[in-house]
Each structure stands twice: as C-alpha cells, then as structure tokens.
Amino acid sequence: MSESVPGIAPEVFAPVKAPVSPTQASEEVEFVQLLTPEGERVEHPDYSFDLDDEAVKGFYRDMTLVRRIDTEATALQRQGELGIWASLLGQEAAQIGSGRALNKKDMVFPTYREHGVAWCQGVDPLNLLGLFRGVDQGAWDPRDNNFHLYTIVIGAQTLHATGYAMGQQRDGAVGGDPDNDTDGEATIAYFGDGASSQGDVNEAFIYASVFNAPVVFFCQNNQWAISEPIDRQTRIPLYQRAAGFGFPGVRVDGNDVLATYAVTQQALKRAREGSGPTLVEAYTYRMGAHTTSDDPTKYRLSEDLEYWKLKDPIERVKAYLTRSAGVDSDFFDAIEAEADGIAARLREGCLSMPDPTLTDFFDHAYVEQTPQLAEQKAQYAAYAASFEGEN
Ligand SMILES: Cc1ncc(C[n+]2csc(CCOP(=O)(O)OP(=O)(O)O)c2C)c(N)n1
Ligand SMILES: [Mg+2]
C-alpha cells in the first residue's frame, strides 16, 4: 500500500486506535451543561433553563419512574417473562429532557430504547412489554400519542421521520408566529451513535437539509453500539457532522435533564418556525448491557461504569432539589411508593397477557387481508391441526 497520497495526510491511513476506555475520551468533551454532576446550576451563554423548581421535581419523578419501569422489565426478562429487553439505564435525562420539550402536535420516531420518551408521550409501558414479550408486534397506535412504533432496523426511522416532517411542511403545519412556539409542528427522530454510520441516517440528513424539513435528529451517543465503541463510528465529534450537511449541530450533556430540555426545546422551536433541521448529540452512557442478551463485561472495563455512575442523571437532580430547592424526604418517598405501584401493575399486567396464536401473525401483515395470505393462513391452520392429539 502506498505510504502517501497527494492531498491526504498520512495519518488518515494509520489504524484507528480505540482508546483504552471511553472514559478517557470523555474528559475532552465540551458540551452544553446547566446542572453539574454535583447538582449545581451553571449558566450557558446560548441556552437557559427557564422553568421553575416544580418542573424540575416533575423531571425527577419522570426519570425515577422510568428507571423503575426499566428495572422491572429487566427482572421480568430474567425470569423468562420477556423474550428480550433493551434497557435505558443511564439515558433517563436524555430521554425525559427531550421528551418533555415536545409539544402536543410534534411527532416522535423512536428506536427500541426510548421508553422514557414513550412515557412522556403517554404510551402505557405495558404496551412496550407486550412487544418484548412477543405477544404482539407493537400494540400502540402511533396516532394516539404521536409516538411511532419501535424500529429495530438501525437508522431506518430517520428516513421515516424526515418524510413525515416533509409532509408537515407541505400540509402548511410549519411556520406562523415565531414568538409562539405552539404554532407549528415538528418531528423528532431518535437514533444512536452506531446508527450514525448507517446510510439511511446520512440520506435522511441530506433530504432534511435540502428540503429544510422540520426535523430534530436526536442522537443519544451512549458510547457503544453493542460492543463497538464510539471510536469505530467517527473520528470527529458526531454533532460536527451536521455542518457538512448544512444545518446546525449541538452537543449537550445527555446526563443533564435541564440542558437536554433547553437544547431540544430550541431545536424544536427552530423546526416549527420553518428554520429546518438540527442535530442534537446527547452525550451519555449506556450503563447497562446493550440488551438482556448481551454481556458488556466481555468488552468494556468496569471502571468505566464506576466513572459514569458519578455522573448519574437522577442523582444530580436529587442533589439539586435537596440542597438548592429545599425539597425534603417526603417528596422522594412518595415517588418511590408511586414507582412500586407502577412496577406491581406492570408485573401483573405482563403475566396476564393472553398468548397469541400463530395464525394472528397472518392477520397483521397488512391492513387488509390478501387472498394469498388468507390461503397461507388456512394451510397453516390445517397443518397445525394435523398435530392435534399428539404429545
Ligand atoms: C440495519 C441493522 N443492522 C444491524 C442491526 C443489529 N444491531 C442491533 S442494535 C445495534 C447497535 C446500535 O447501536 P446504536 O445505534 O449506538 O444504538 P444503541 O443500541 O446504543 O442505543 C446493531 C448493530 C440492526 N438491528 N439493524
Ligand atoms: Mg449507542
């Protein structure tokens, strides 16, 4: 292989050296932060958090409840009641901050890990469990809560979101009074650091840019795509990629719910006003396994997790509420009790879900049954019946 190519620096050909741990890389990171890991409020020149402490208490409640939902779902999987579960542990602030910045008419396109955003949109967590239990293929109607079905095909939803946003634009739902951010609609697409390498995501960026679509690309950079570290996805900070596509990018402390709220709110406002897309990179960490089928101890250091535990998104809000907002233990105890109640309801609801029959799957392939599918369903039913009476 040639040592040098005119106009290309030799280091481009050097093997990419993954850092020993993402922890080291994170020391260099600059991002928008409004609440430190110690729970101290800080100011930023471009972003401010303008809600009161009641709202912060609400964020604390949301994050605590979704963490509990997540813990219960993980336990249910371990007990054989769910086929698989994708935990959001560590990403509560990124999801609640962005989810609470949404307006009623905004539309959400999630991946498979956005349980916190689903919560903000009012999707019953039992519906999420049905999907992971395998008794349905997503039992919620996206129109009920402006929250689309989970997408497992990495990055595909960014194209769906861009198409939807272009529809909002063509329906005249964008623009209007720029001082009234309830006037106008936007779309938000969630995806991961690994997804940023997909062709679909890059195509979505181009379409959104040239058509000025009202879409916010919300990337949760949790440092890992299963066992692949962020260094295998990019050599520049992900948010900087937006510049090459012609729209703004911003990196936010994804473990800071106040900053995530403020940054997403501004990006959504831009979109609703007709100023086009924004890429938000929420810098965070996947504290659990990729899914319950994964064992992260095989590929990452436990010291990383210890490092990120100090940046826990919930603990910093608790520290702020206790020290700076005068909130006492009654408040926290009440939320724990509420979490217990939700967990019990979920467990009971999960265990009592009716099993599907295999023929159900033929009914849900298309909105309307086709003659071919009807025939296949009948053939399958006859085949299954031929085993009746056998052990
Ligand atoms: C198109 C496609 N390729 C591969 C996979 C297998 N896969 C499932 S999750 C995943 C990693 C995704 O990582 P990231 O985008 O960072 O999201 P995270 O799981 O960290 O939230 C991969 C490669 C898939 N589901 N779809
Ligand atoms: Mg990831």
> What string of DSSP letters covers 196-229?
GGSHHHHHHHHHHHHTT--EEEEEEE-SEETTEE
CA pseudo-torsion sign 100, 101, 107, 109: negative
Atom 13 (ligand 1) nearest CA: 225
Instruction: Identify whether 164 is a catalytic site residue.
Output: no
Per the annotation, the verdict on 115 as an active-site residue is: no
Residue type for position 319: A
Ligand 1: which of 226, 230, 286 to mutate, most ligand atoms within 8 Å of CB? 226
DSSP letters for 231-282 = GGT-SS-GGGHHHHHTS-EEEEETT-HHHHHHHHHHHHHHHHHT---EEEEE
Cβ neighbourhood burial of 314 (10 Å; 0-12, 13-18, 19+) = buried
User: What is the spatial distance between Cα 169 and Cα 173, in angstroms, rounded to a whole number?
Assistant: 6
Task: Show the tokens assigned to 208.
Answer: 């959104």
Does the Cβ of 84 fall within 6 Å of ligand 1? no
How high is the pLDDT of residue 179?
58
Residue 169: alpha-carbon gap to chain centroid: 24
Of the candidates 357, 212, 316, 219, the residue with the CA atom closest to the CA atom of residue 274: 212
- Regarding the beta carbon of 115 and ligand 1, being less than 6 Å apart is answered no
Taking the centre of ligand 2 as the mean of its atom positions, its distance from the CA of residue 193, in whole angstroms, is 5
pLDDT by residue, tens only, the chain of 391 residues: 334 445 545 444 444 343 445 555 545 678 999 999 999 999 999 999 999 999 999 999 999 999 999 999 999 999 999 999 999 999 999 999 999 999 999 999 999 999 999 999 999 999 999 999 999 989 899 999 999 999 999 999 999 999 999 999 999 999 876 555 557 999 999 999 999 999 999 999 999 999 999 999 999 999 999 999 999 999 999 999 999 999 999 999 999 999 999 999 999 999 999 999 999 999 999 999 999 999 999 999 999 999 999 999 999 999 999 999 999 999 999 999 999 999 999 999 999 999 988 888 888 888 899 999 999 999 999 999 999 888 6
Among 100, 113, 270, 286, the one annotated catalytic = 286
Whether 188 contacts 208, CB under 8 Å: no
Strands 249-253 and 228-229: unpaired
pTM of the predicted model as reported, rounded to 2 decimal places: 0.92
